[in-house]
């Protein structure tokens, strides 16, 4: 890898890559997209063509798509959390405090979709294990395992809500 060649490439094309990204994601994120694009170029420098602009724009396009997917996932998760919050019973005889409810909803939102859906079908919809397994298209034993994992997450001590759960923490 020749650092001089990379630096020359960066100086020659950074403005065009930022401009492309800005048209698709706005100014605030465009610099992150450009940085990711040139990081990809750095890591795979041997595959960068002699005329790199089209290749760089293509890589930036992929990073833009990833950014949009991330926004959609976040929006979907926020909508799901709002739906869970709205559908939770909030009557005067509810035994769960507002803080506990918010913590439980946050844990539910961070659960893998399959575990969360298994728990909601059984706990909130009142389905039997067999019925819930049929709805999800899995075996009852698989559903019982999902329920076990979901309940263990609910019973686990609270974690920092600003840190995502990692596989080892799940």
Find, among 44, 57, 46, 50, the residue nearest to 13 by Cα: 57
- For 160, other C-beta atoms within 10 Å of its C-beta total 6
Which residue, 47, 73, 99, sits at the end of a domain?
A: 73
Q: Comparing 128 with 169, which gets the higher pLDDT?
A: 128
Whether the CB-CB separation of 143 and 133 falls below 8 Å is answered with yes
User: For the range 75-78, what are the long-range contacts, defined as Cβ-Cβ under 8 Å and sequence gap of 24 or more?
Assistant: 77/109
pLDDT tops 60 at residue 148: yes
Whether the CB-CB separation of 140 and 129 falls below 8 Å is answered with yes
- For 109, other C-beta atoms within 10 Å of its C-beta total 16
Residue 103 lies in a domain: yes
When pLDDT is averaged across residues 99-110 and rounded to a whole number, the result is: 75
Return the sign of the alpha-carbon dihedral for residues 113, 119, 123, 127: positive
Whether the CB-CB separation of 84 and 105 falls below 8 Å is answered with yes
Find the domain containing 148 and state its range.
88-155
Residue 20 lies in a domain: yes
Q: Comparing 86 with 15, which gets the higher pLDDT?
A: 15
- Do residue 57 and residue 110 come from a single domain? no
pLDDT for res 77: 81
Whether the CB-CB separation of 151 and 140 falls below 8 Å is answered with no
pTM of the model: 0.50
Q: How many domains does the chain have?
A: 2
pLDDT for res 12: 94
Residue 130 lies in a domain: yes
How many angstroms separate the CA atoms of 130 and 141, rounded? 9
Residue 81 lies in a domain: no
pLDDT for res 58: 92
When pLDDT is averaged across residues 112-117 and rounded to a whole number, the result is: 83
- Do residue 63 and residue 100 come from a single domain? no
Q: List the single range of 41-55, 65-79, 131-145, 150-164 with lowest mean pLDDT.
A: 150-164
Whether the CB-CB separation of 101 and 88 falls below 8 Å is answered with yes
Return the sign of the alpha-carbon dihedral for residues 125, 126, 131, 132: positive
pLDDT for res 89: 59
């Amino acid at each position: 890898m020749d650092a001089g060649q990379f630096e020359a490439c960066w100086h020659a094309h950074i403005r065009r890559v930022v401009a492309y990204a800005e048209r698709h994601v706005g100014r605030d994120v465009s610099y992150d997209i450009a940085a990711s694009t040139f990081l990809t170029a750095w890591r795979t420098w041997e595959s960068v063509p002699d005329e790199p602009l089209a290749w760089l724009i293509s890589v930036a396009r992929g990073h833009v798509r990833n950014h949009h997917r991330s926004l959609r996932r976040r929006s979907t998760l926020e909508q799901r959390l709002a739906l869970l919050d709205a559908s939770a019973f909030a009557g005067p005889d509810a035994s769960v405090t507002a803080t506990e409810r918010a913590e439980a909803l946050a844990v539910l939102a961070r659960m893998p979709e399959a575990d969360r859906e298994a728990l909601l079908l059984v706990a909130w919809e009142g389905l039997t294990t067999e019925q819930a397994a049929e709805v999800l298209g899995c075996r009852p034993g698989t559903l019982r395992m999902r329920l076990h994992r979901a309940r263990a997450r609910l019973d686990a001590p609270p974690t920092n809500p600003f840190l995502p759960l990692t596989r080892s923490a799940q």
